[in-house]
Structure 1
Amino acid sequence: MLTAQRDSLRLLRAILVASVVLPIALFSYASWLSYRTNDAYADRQIDKTRDIITEHALKVFESVQRSIAETAEIVRDMSDEDIRSAEPALYARLQRLVGGSEQIKSIWIFDNTGRPLVNTMQLPSPRPDLSDRDYFRAHLDKDVGLYVGRVLQPRPPFDGAPFFSVSRRRNAPDGSFAGVIQVSVLPDYFEGFYAKVGREDGSFASLVRDDGAILARMPAINGADASVKPDGIVGQAIREGRSEGRMATVSPLDGIERRVAFRKLPNLPVYVFAGLETRAIRSMWLAQIGAYLLVGLPATAALIAIVLLTMRRTQKLYEEADRRHAAENALKQSQRLESLGRLTGGVAHDFNNLLMVVGGSVQKLRRRHSDLQDIRSFDMIDSAVAKGTALTRQLLSFSRRHNVAAKPVDLGEAVTKFADVLRQSVRSDIIITIEPPAEPVVVMIDPNEFEIALLNLALNARDAMPDGGRITISIHTEALKNFGPRRLTGTYAILCFADTGVGIPDDIRERVFEPFFTTKPVDRGTGLGLSQIYGFVQQSSGAITVDSELGRGTRFDLFLPLTKEAPAREDQTPTAVVPDAKVPKTLLLVEDHPDVATVAADYAAQCGFVVVPANCAEAAIEVLNRRRDIDLVFSDIVMPGMSGLELARLIREHHPETPVILASGYSDRSASALSEGFLLLQKPYTLEAMRGALAQAMQREAVRPTA
């Protein structure tokens, strides 16, 4: 049956591929055919526009030539003096010529020095020297016939729109140079006509001299005056001297790619150009393609949807089975973790109390017995207490219930100091390289948990390198934004722990942080190492990632948030409190466990305090209300009835002058106690740990400002 289902899936996949490939092939052919048709249509449109503007330009230049010829006929055989004397009559007659033509701006008659004799702009005509204009200089040496000049700006005292000139030489009766007849033609007239003809998006038309100077252009050139610069679109045609043709090029004036057709006007040094932007041609083609897609896409989508629906129904059983398996595994994992959490949370407090009773009793026996054999036994008991404490901490970290005693730690300094321990934990054929940061990188972590995490990573790396290798530990900082599943944001310290071992297979990489998951033999690993690291990083508000490749090693990245606090120094331990013999300090000890109370009272007495016992928070409140000589309160957190944290809050509210120290082997309220600023001592604590906490509490009281 499984084989039949797989065959069905293969057939459906083949149908799905065909339903995609066949429409794509048909669409590709239709697109190619449409492209060729659209390309030919664009060429026809360009040629048609070129023909229209060619005919228009010829008519305009014919009209201008007639105006020049008529003006030449009017002043034929007239000397400059005769022209000046007849200026009013000539002005009126030339005005009639200009008035009947939209393209002509003005008509001018110049003498042989370049000064106007008559013009249709002003009467009487000013006499500025215009001998430097191209329409005048072109006729000085010889008769060049009809001359078409470049686009010019009017020169004061004349004003108006830009113009280009069409001029002809005036000859004296003896054939010598007598002056110039010039007609100013408006480029705006051509550009307006081009705008009417080229109504399609991306249309282009221009009138260009054979040296590349632009006379009129649509679209107009913005910005700097480019009218005297060769237009890149026409440059190739002019350089090759072709009188007609078609090309595609990019204009350097506006950087637009166009397809243009051109033609040279007969007997004139002028080209006309018409074209379309290739973008517009492509847009027309895409519009046709869009119409094809509008018809073809729904049908294709419907076919694909039917096939996909069939495949989904066929795969549903497999997916349901996979989801059920994953859900069952997740439920088992959650139940296992929750069960262990409840177990460790339920027994940790009592177990730590027992360890404290054992450890405190051993310390008392040490003071009374000095026999060497007894000392060895005491050492064994102390070692067992330390191992039990470490085991409890590891289990709590594993179950994510251990309250991390965080403090500012310089990562680089912490790793460097712990390097010798790491080197001793691996074989001699494994090299450990540490790359500390250039500047201090301070994070808020529990230094003990951090060292355990490093040690676990080193031990895993050692087992992954049976033939030796290298461990590299580097530290740097990085700004993160929504990084990873926990969406880390901010500046984080990143500790990279990389080895050159055998690597982690892909199929188990996602499970390496699961509790009790291990690939080692039963007698060589419990599966708590990486889980403890994961719990430490999570409770430090960070994250951990793993990157591995078989045969090329593994890299763990620990992301820890930076803190602005200065790192704590080991030499900053508070000095022991030695109560004044004349005024002894009184400590109210609140502890419900009698054996723990006995050990704690003994420790406090050794620190020089007078101990007042109370077996619950309610009894402690009665003592505080009755006595005024209580200098310090030392209370367990977990007690029947009112908790130690609630007691500490009441004392802070009603007896703010009395410092409070809280102790706990395990409690969900420990984090709240730390966040509210109470001193917290983790059970099982030693005499020195209690001495330091008492000293710190008394120092806080000493520096408290008085009202």
Structure 2
Amino acid sequence: MLTAQRDSLRLLRAILLASVILPAALFSYAAWLAYRSNEDSAERQIDKTRDIVTEHALKIFESVERSIAETAEIIRGMSDDQIRAEQSVLHDRLKRLSDGSEQIKSMWIFDKDGQALVNSILYPSPPGSFADRDYFKGPMEHDVGVFVGRTLQPRPPFGGAPFFSVSMRRPAPDGSFVGVINASVLPDYFEGFYAKVGRDSGSYAALVREDGAILARYPAIDSNDLTVKTDGLIGRAMTAGSVEGTVTVVSALDGIERRVAYRKLPKLPVYVYAGLETRAIRNMWLSQLGAYLLVGLPATAALIAIVVLALARTRRLYEEAGRRAVAEKALKQSQRLESLGRLTGGVAHDFNNLLMVVGGSVQKLRRRHTDLQDRRTFDMIDSAVAKGAGLTRQLLSFSRRHNVAAKLVDLGDAVSKFADVLRQSVRSDTTIVIEPPPEPVVVQIDPNEFEIALLNLALNARDAMPEGGRITVSIRTETLKNFGPRRLTGEYAILGFADTGVGIPMEIRDRIFEPFFTTKPVDRGTGLGLSQIYGFVQQSNGAITLESEIGRGTRFDLFFPRSTDVAVEEAEDADAMPALTGKHTLLLVEDHPDVAAVAADYAEQCGFTVVKAASAEIALDLLNRRKDIDMVFSDIVMPGMSGIELARLIRDHHPEMPVVLASGYSDRSASALAEGFTLLQKPYTLNTLRKALAQAIQTARSSAAE
């Protein structure tokens, strides 16, 4: 049956996988073909644009050179003085040349000192030296033929748009330098043409000098520095000895990546560029892919939906059977744990009574025998009683039937005070590091249960680090929202307990909080340590989480709701316990004769005159007949009327009389605490009884005074 289910599910998964992989493979192949086609188309478009801007630039420079050559022919054989004398005529000639060309802004003739002899803009030419301009210094220093200058701003009194210059030397008959003929060219003319050519999104074109200075660019740059280098592209081309090529570069001006084709103009120190943004190329490719998806995606989605629906329906049928099996298993587990809880609760009362009798009897024997050997025997019995009480408390903690005496506790302070005990519980080769919070972190927990939880964690960490290691205890706060299975929400304090031990295998992590589950040898652990921690945290309205890595260690995080109240330091027992002055008569209500004997002995040592009652009904009769009874000490679980019912009747008819209740275990103990009765857990000692009775008397006196 299971094999057939697995085979059918495996077949449906294979079909589902094929319905995803096959269309994806076809789409990937089509996308690759489209990408190659798109790249080739972009390359052709870029090359075509480069050819157009190259042809345009050659025609412009050829036209400018003709204008310069015509000017040189006009002034051939004329000296500077003759030119000045003919300035009016020459100004008109130059003006006609510049006006007849859209790309030429102005024409100039300079002498060897950089003084303007004639220009096409102003007549007469104003005085002033232009010897510092590159279009003058270049031809003066070297006979380079046609010199192309950088883009410049006009110098007052001249105005207008920026320009770059095309200039040539004026040689004397002997070849010496006598001046410069210059034509100022408008970059706007080139940029306007580039804008017409590059109408597609992401188009790019530029005219750049050999040294990288920009002469014209589209899209135009918003910068006053028109001599910015262009990503070292010119340098790369010159180093490689290349006059043309195609590269992909990121512009230093606008940070945009482009695919660019370049070419050097023949006999001129100028390069032309044409390109497209790689983003635009990619967008064209993505648009083509979108068309493919528009056609193929609905059909593929429909196919996948059909297969997924069939798989889901089949899986639901099989999972329903699986859920029934899991539910049966969970029910058995729940019944087992519930049975354990009931067994624990049923045994706890009688077991604690037995511990009470043993412990009280030992104390009586201890007072009578002072022999050292007897004292050691008594110590062993006391130790066994304490261990038995601890075992019972751990069982009750897991079943959540242990009464938690919650108090406001500063976590950082509590951990610091308990640090010495933790260090004594581990080996000397184990380091314990406490990381206290920067401010008080107050929670409402049972401090005794908290210390037991810390000790259990330390013992588990010790066993997980056979060769020593490090334990780190940290405290932090965090705001949670629907955290974990219990969906914790609000401000929480988090106590982290981490070790560097062997870690917890994944296959047993779901069981580590179960009672009696342990991986330790029979004589090394009971399996109740982590279950006690789990029950304690749950009863504190918190949660516990686990993180572990094999060979690296384990970390437990204990979550407690954070309180806004301030923790109050409790005074020492000697200071907190009021003195019992005068003679007091105590009505002891206990159905177990041996426990009654121990309790009576303790009460008499506290200075009370003890009157015994074996049931609540007898106690009520004594209270009605006797007027000398000062307080009542009663067990909760008794045949007939319970101790808590007796306490309620006393409160109604004798509100001035203090009542103390005792319990080894009762599911009504929580009600006793909620109603304000003093509750003493069995097995109790002489000191704990004295303290409980004294506090009950003090509380009754305070109420009477009010």
For normalisation by structure 1, the TM-score amounts to 0.75
Change (3 A) 1:30 1:447: same
The corresponding residue for 1:426 is: none
The corresponding residue for 1:185 is: 185
Q: For residue 397 of structure 1, report the CA deviation from its aligned partner.
A: 0.3
The corresponding residue for 1:428 is: none
Tell me whether 1:233 sits opposite 2:237 in the alignment: no
The corresponding residue for 1:15 is: 15
The worse-fitting range, judged by mean Cα deviation, of 199-208 and 479-488 is: 479-488
The corresponding residue for 2:430 is: 434
Structure 2 letter corresponding to 1:494: G
Q: For residue 163 of structure 1, report the CA deviation from its aligned partner.
A: 2.0
- 3-state DSSP class of the match of 1:246? strand
Change (3 A) 1:592 1:660: closer
Please say if residues 410 and 440 of structure 1, whose CA atoms lie closer than 8 Å, have aligned partners that are also in contact: no
Q: For residue 36 of structure 1, report the CA deviation from its aligned partner.
A: 1.9
Structural mapping, 1:402-441, within 5 Å: 402-405=402-405, 407-408=409-410, 410-411=414-415, 414=418, 416-418=420-422, 420=424, 422=425, 433-437=429-433
Please say if residues 404 and 446 of structure 2, whose CA atoms lie closer than 8 Å, have aligned partners that are also in contact: yes
The corresponding residue for 2:334 is: 334
Structure 2 letter corresponding to 1:685: Y
The corresponding residue for 2:267 is: 267
Please say if residues 206 and 214 of structure 2, whose CA atoms lie closer than 8 Å, have aligned partners that are also in contact: yes
Distance 1:147 1:187 in 2: 16
- 3-state DSSP class of the match of 1:437? strand
Q: For residue 472 of structure 1, report the CA deviation from its aligned partner.
A: 4.4
Structure 1 letter corresponding to 2:282: R
For normalisation by structure 2, the TM-score amounts to 0.75
Q: For residue 131 of structure 1, report the CA deviation from its aligned partner.
A: 0.4
Please say if residues 579 and 694 of structure 2, whose CA atoms lie closer than 8 Å, have aligned partners that are also in contact: no
* Unpaired runs of at least 5, structure 1: 424-430
Change (3 A) 1:597 1:199: farther
Change (3 A) 1:57 1:416: same
Please say if residues 516 and 527 of structure 1, whose CA atoms lie closer than 8 Å, have aligned partners that are also in contact: yes
Structure 2 letter corresponding to 1:417: V
Tell me whether 1:687 sits opposite 2:691 in the alignment: no
The worse-fitting range, judged by mean Cα deviation, of 45-54 and 669-678 is: 669-678
Please say if residues 422 and 458 of structure 2, whose CA atoms lie closer than 8 Å, have aligned partners that are also in contact: no
Distance 1:525 1:535 in 2: 18
The corresponding residue for 1:211 is: 211
Q: For residue 271 of structure 1, report the CA deviation from its aligned partner.
A: 1.7
Q: For residue 82 of structure 1, report the CA deviation from its aligned partner.
A: 5.1
Structural mapping, 1:97-112, within 5 Å: 97-112=97-112
Distance 1:121 1:675 in 2: 105
Deviations 1:332-376 (A, max 9, x none): 33344445556656886x659856974797489669966999999
- 3-state DSSP class of the match of 2:109? strand
Q: For residue 141 of structure 1, report the CA deviation from its aligned partner.
A: 5.0
Deviations 1:44-70 (A, max 9, x none): 100111122122222322332344344
Change (3 A) 1:382 1:518: closer
Deviations 1:122-158 (A, max 9, x none): 5554322220211111222565432211222334444
Please say if residues 353 and 682 of structure 2, whose CA atoms lie closer than 8 Å, have aligned partners that are also in contact: no
The corresponding residue for 1:322 is: 322
Distance 1:21 1:210 in 2: 53
The corresponding residue for 1:474 is: 471
- 3-state DSSP class of the match of 1:211? coil
Please say if residues 138 and 147 of structure 2, whose CA atoms lie closer than 8 Å, have aligned partners that are also in contact: yes
The corresponding residue for 2:498 is: 496
The corresponding residue for 1:393 is: 393
Change (3 A) 1:197 1:146: same
Structural mapping, 1:169-184, within 5 Å: 169-171=169-171, 176-184=176-184
- 3-state DSSP class of the match of 2:392? helix
Please say if residues 50 and 272 of structure 2, whose CA atoms lie closer than 8 Å, have aligned partners that are also in contact: yes
Change (3 A) 1:299 1:228: closer
Distance 1:676 1:202 in 2: 80
Distance 1:604 1:545 in 2: 47
Distance 1:203 1:298 in 2: 35
Distance 1:11 1:285 in 2: 37
Q: For residue 84 of structure 1, report the CA deviation from its aligned partner.
A: 4.5
Distance 1:606 1:255 in 2: 92
The corresponding residue for 1:197 is: 197
The corresponding residue for 1:543 is: 544
Please say if residues 151 and 228 of structure 1, whose CA atoms lie closer than 8 Å, have aligned partners that are also in contact: no
The corresponding residue for 2:33 is: 33
Q: For residue 113 of structure 1, report the CA deviation from its aligned partner.
A: 1.1
Q: For residue 594 of structure 1, report the CA deviation from its aligned partner.
A: 8.0
Tell me whether 1:146 sits opposite 2:143 in the alignment: no
Structure 2 letter corresponding to 1:112: K
The corresponding residue for 1:129 is: 129
Distance 2:248 2:135 in 1: 33
Please say if residues 164 and 187 of structure 1, whose CA atoms lie closer than 8 Å, have aligned partners that are also in contact: yes
- 3-state DSSP class of the match of 1:574? helix
Q: Percent identity, aligned pairs only?
A: 61
Distance 1:367 1:234 in 2: 104
Structure 2 letter corresponding to 1:557: F
Please say if residues 362 and 382 of structure 1, whose CA atoms lie closer than 8 Å, have aligned partners that are also in contact: no
* Unpaired runs of at least 5, structure 2: 637-641
Structure 1 letter corresponding to 2:306: I
Q: For residue 538 of structure 1, report the CA deviation from its aligned partner.
A: 3.6
Change (3 A) 1:690 1:52: same
Change (3 A) 1:645 1:161: farther
- The RMSD of aligned alpha carbons is 5.4
Please say if residues 210 and 234 of structure 2, whose CA atoms lie closer than 8 Å, have aligned partners that are also in contact: no
Structural mapping, 1:515-530, within 5 Å: 515-517=515-517, 527-530=527-530
Change (3 A) 1:497 1:273: closer
Q: For residue 687 of structure 1, report the CA deviation from its aligned partner.
A: 2.5
Q: For residue 274 of structure 1, report the CA deviation from its aligned partner.
A: 0.7
Distance 1:68 1:388 in 2: 115
The corresponding residue for 1:557 is: 556
Distance 1:105 1:4 in 2: 89
Structural mapping, 1:343-362, within 5 Å: 354=353, 358=357, 362=361
Please say if residues 355 and 389 of structure 1, whose CA atoms lie closer than 8 Å, have aligned partners that are also in contact: no
Please say if residues 94 and 107 of structure 1, whose CA atoms lie closer than 8 Å, have aligned partners that are also in contact: yes
Distance 2:609 2:453 in 1: 41
